[in-house]
Structure 1
């Protein structure tokens, strides 16, 4: 009897060791894959490509796209679903039902959210902004046009709510925001007044003001006075504005990948993608006598500035 005691103890220690190893493996391995459901009103090629790339990044999860018309009411989806909305129509569908799973609203503009939510946060929604942060756009101006102090901004009734945030951001950079309401884009007087009283135009992501019908007047008027237009987005840079910050598909995939690693209760109520790029128009820079912009270097400098307290 006494001789079996040490062997028995050794067996117990060995079993404990195996249990600890198995427990460690269990903790290191997800208990089950997350169900990541993307939806939009239409399943375009770009949407399918985006879904496929996200699925490639997250092989441990079940990532799928289902057209909005094929989905039940949000409250009928499993609570553990991680829902990702890709267009305003899918957000309208989600807002009709206060119940349902935690939801990431991808690439929504500040203006679109204001029109739908009126500034009231929704407990199940995390809003990922598509328009560049106003403070980042001002830092871009400060970087490429360091002499500028008066920044002209056109606004409509829809985008007026952004002006306070813009002024607060400009104050820390010793810039002055000069504003002009543009109630009728057929009337050029507000634009001309603003150009006379400012040194550069900063475009807000407001479709009423910045659209294919107004682009020619905006660009020709500003360049006639040798003033640059910054923003409001990458599309306008290609059309003739000087530069803008923006986030592309890879930046959005990186942001989503990081958020999906977190439990939904930890998702922020709103977020700008930390990853971004700078797009510039060299031909416009030359015509305005501005030193050519190095987009990668400027983006790096802006990013480093955001990391510092």
Structure 2
């Protein structure tokens, strides 16, 4: 009986033993202080593993890596490298948005990739709008051909919140009519994380146009909030580390094809809130309200 108990315990623990002490390889096109900080933080969380960063230019083809390597891709260039061939270890893909993935993958979701989205979930952003602007009913959304595919999902997420999505294409950024139309006909603007529309070159026009109409812009990301948008949800490095740590405890065949982090924060621009006559934004209270709204779905 003692032998069989030990044998059963070994069988139960084997998946955990086989995942411990393995190699976790991070790669990306650029080495930077931010990358090194991320790698060191992951090392701290995974003391039993060998965690290392190797610049993309120094790696062989994916098929030449050990099959039991747990691979973490840090940028779109690393994704392009992994997509060269199906052979090779499975990979967690970080720092990629839905729009970026669509441009590179289309509708494909290869079994060897797990895409961890960098852009905020659409429903989460709408819950933030509902919390900050409870009277807002019509939500204005600018989109490009690259982000058009998000509109159906956005409309579905808006329905249970009693919101209506008014979407306008913006094919020519020199033509302000789509933006002005939304500013006249909607209660709030929601920014999609589409870098062809929301970038440093368009920020001034978008923010000043919205401000002149006393209109709030929510999203598309924390960077735009610093530039003058009202608020956004976002997931910081600690949130991503918690997700990655949990996934690395699982065998790669159980990794999700795509995933948003459960952990997130809210950032708000208090100066913009005051200018728009909105109460000061309490990030913790906002996060709790948004999280409760998500849980109630």
**Does the 8 A contact of 2:127 with 2:293 survive in 1?**
no
Q: Deviations over 1:223-272 (max 9, x none)?
A: 11111000000000000000000001111101100110111111000000
Match of 1:192 in 2: 180
Q: Deviations over 1:105-153 (max 9, x none)?
A: 0121000100111111111000000000000000000011000000000
- 1:34 Cα deviation from its structure 2 partner: 1.9
Cα RMSD (Å):
1.7
Match of 2:25 in 1: 37
Establish whether residue 301 from structure 1 lines up as the match of residue 289 from structure 2. Answer: yes
Match of 2:44 in 1: 56
Establish whether residue 67 from structure 1 lines up as the match of residue 67 from structure 2. Answer: no
How far apart, in 2, do the equivalents of 1:252 and 1:121 lie? 21
- 1:304 Cα deviation from its structure 2 partner: 2.8
How far apart, in 2, do the equivalents of 1:98 and 1:20 lie? 41
Q: Which runs of 5+ in 1 are unaligned?
A: 1-12
- 1:307 Cα deviation from its structure 2 partner: 3.0
Q: Deviations over 1:35-90 (max 9, x none)?
A: 11000011111101100100100101111111101111111111111100000100
How far apart, in 1, do the equivalents of 2:37 and 2:17 lie? 26
Structure with higher Rg: it is 1
Match of 2:209 in 1: 221
Of residues 146, 149, 152, the one that matches 1:161 is: 149
SS of residue paired to 2:29:
coil
Match of 2:119 in 1: 131
Match of 1:208 in 2: 196
How far apart, in 2, do the equivalents of 1:298 and 1:22 lie? 51
Of residues 222, 230, 243, the one that matches 1:242 is: 230
**Does the 8 A contact of 2:127 with 2:294 survive in 1?**
no
Match of 1:106 in 2: 94
Taking structure 2 as the reference length, what is the TM-score of the superposition? Answer: 0.95
How far apart, in 2, do the equivalents of 1:134 and 1:286 lie? 25
Q: Deviations over 1:139-173 (max 9, x none)?
A: 00001100000000001111111111111111121
Taking structure 1 as the reference length, what is the TM-score of the superposition? Answer: 0.91
Match of 2:68 in 1: 80
How far apart, in 2, do the equivalents of 1:25 and 1:119 lie? 41
Establish whether residue 270 from structure 1 lines up as the match of residue 253 from structure 2. Answer: no
How far apart, in 2, do the equivalents of 1:124 and 1:214 lie? 36
**Does the 8 A contact of 2:192 with 2:220 survive in 1?**
yes
- 1:305 Cα deviation from its structure 2 partner: 2.9
How far apart, in 2, do the equivalents of 1:157 and 1:79 lie? 38
Q: Which runs of 5+ in 2 are unaligned?
A: none
How far apart, in 2, do the equivalents of 1:206 and 1:89 lie? 18
Higher relative contact order structure (alpha carbons within 8 Å, sequence separation ≥ 6): 2
How far apart, in 2, do the equivalents of 1:64 and 1:171 lie? 45
**Does the 8 A contact of 2:29 with 2:56 survive in 1?**
yes
Decide which moves more: 157-166 or 27-36: 27-36
SS of residue paired to 2:161:
coil
- 1:24 Cα deviation from its structure 2 partner: 4.7
User: Following superposition, which runs of at least 4 residues in structure 1 exceed 3 angstroms of deviation?
Assistant: 19-29
